[in-house]
Amino acid sequence: MQFHDQEIFEVLSVSDLTDEIKLMLEEQFDWVSVRGEVSQPQTSRNGHLYFTLKDAGAQLSCVMWNSMRQQLESIPKHGDEVIVSGSVQVYAPHGRYQLITRSIRAAGLGALQLAFEQLKHKLQAEGLFDESRKRALPRYPEVIGIVTSATGAAFQDMRNTLEKRYPACQVLLYHASVQGQQAASEISEGIRFFSELEDVNLLIVGRGGGSLEDLWAFNEEIVARAISECRVPVISAVGHETDFSISDFVADARAATPTQAIVIAVPDQNDLQMKINDFQLTIEKRLMDMLNRHKDTVMRFLDNYALHKVKQRITRQAETIVWQEKQMAGILKRILQQKRDRNRHLSDTLSGMAIRYLVQRKSEWNALHHRLLATDPNAPLKKGYTLIYQEDKWVRSSDRFCPEKPFDVEWSDRKIRIG
């Protein structure tokens, strides 16, 4: 073994090297899913689950903290084939690494997981996950659309939370199946429906928790496309805190649960009231400070000779205005009186003309009436005379009467035929 007085390369301490490895591994494998066989699972007194994940060529130490373990439906057994998701962590004191496990599922779901990864890579390559395309959520939304099941607990939780936090906001529900064959198409139709409504400010899409199969509708490409094309900002609220869905990556914001989606979407009315009170107190304090600072200046102005002159001028102008108002009132009063007198004179003149016109017309009417009576052909009959008609003609003289022909004799009250 040979030792050199000077080292050519930088010499690292064990801690420095381990820190470098820790930083590199934990950044590179912040989230990873690993398939393998469970070996020797053990639960500590603190509730933490420790086990080894292995295959034919290697093994990996894993730990699931108690808070995550309590969400498991069942503890995996020795020999189970599973898919574990989590992040790699380096434990420097022992110089080893382990997987901090956040979810464990049966490996039988590998086909779904493969489809998930393939779609994720496809959409990510298209830029649908880019932060640059994600929109900011409105600070004070007035109308929120929700696409979820009307019968699920998720909608009730969201509505109750909204009522407590920000009751001024209106909620519109689009009922859609959240699992099953029709779920993806119904969810995408709901998203497009709200995208076309002008009054909607924000959209929440989601459901409560469940297995990967239950939540699969939110991993469908049709839902991801609908979210990316939506006119309004979208919050994905699929109720699974540990795993992400495709909708989580595409949406403008992700909530771990439907309830948290409301917390993200709207402010707390109590916080707003406190802020308003703080603003009010701040404004009042600043105004009082300003008044106190300028109080002396104002008092000096009040005693200023020029200010007194201005006051006197304003007073004179005010008196002039009052005098002018009285003068104008008098003038208007005289004008109105003249108008009333003129109207009264015109009214009397018109009344006289109307009376004379009516008297003249009545006299003319009486003359016409007398003339009409004088020319009445029935006037002789009323005096007891008769009229003779032959062949429907009035016989005016005897030479026009033919004794051989029948004729009619007419009195004032009767007419008979003779012959």
Name 50's bridge partners: 42, 63
Specify the pLDDT at position 241. Answer: 62
Residue 336 has pLDDT above 90, yes or no: no
**Structural domain that includes position 58:** 14-117
**Given a cut of 80, is residue 375 above it in pLDDT?**
no
pLDDT at 305: 63
- 149 and 262 inside one domain: yes
Among 59-68, 78-87, 218-227, 324-333, the least confident range: 324-333
Both 107 and 173 in a single domain? no
**pLDDT score recorded for residue 296:** 72
Specify the CATH number for the domain of residue 159: 3.40.50.261
Where a domain ends, among 225, 249, 267? 267
Residue 5 tokens read as 């007085």
Residue 400 lies in a domain: yes
Q: What is the pLDDT of residue 8?
A: 58
Distance between alpha carbon 408 and the CA centroid of its chain, in Å? Answer: 97
Provide the number of structural domains found in the chain: 3
Q: Is pLDDT above 60 for 295?
A: yes
- Say if 6 falls within a structural domain: no
What percentage of the chain carries pLDDT values higher than 90?
40
pLDDT at position 62:
95
Q: Which is more confidently placed, 197 or 377?
A: 197
| 286 vs 293: CA distance, rounded Å | 10
**What mean pLDDT is predicted for residues 90-111?**
82
Q: Are 37 and 96 contained in the same domain? A: yes
Q: Which of 70-79, 199-208, 377-386 has the highest mean pLDDT?
A: 199-208
Quick one: 108 and 160 in the same domain? no
- Looking at the fold, whether 151 and 262 belong to one and the same domain comes out as yes
Please give the full DSSP string across 125-160, using - where no structure is assigned. HHTTT-GGGPPPPPSS-SEEEEEE-TTSHHHHHHHH
Report, as an integer, the average pLDDT of 139-153: 94
List, for residues 222-271, the tens digit of each pLDDT value. Answer: 999 999 999 999 999 997 666 689 999 999 999 999 999 999 999 998 88
- Band of pLDDT at residue 60, cut at 50, 70 and 90: very high
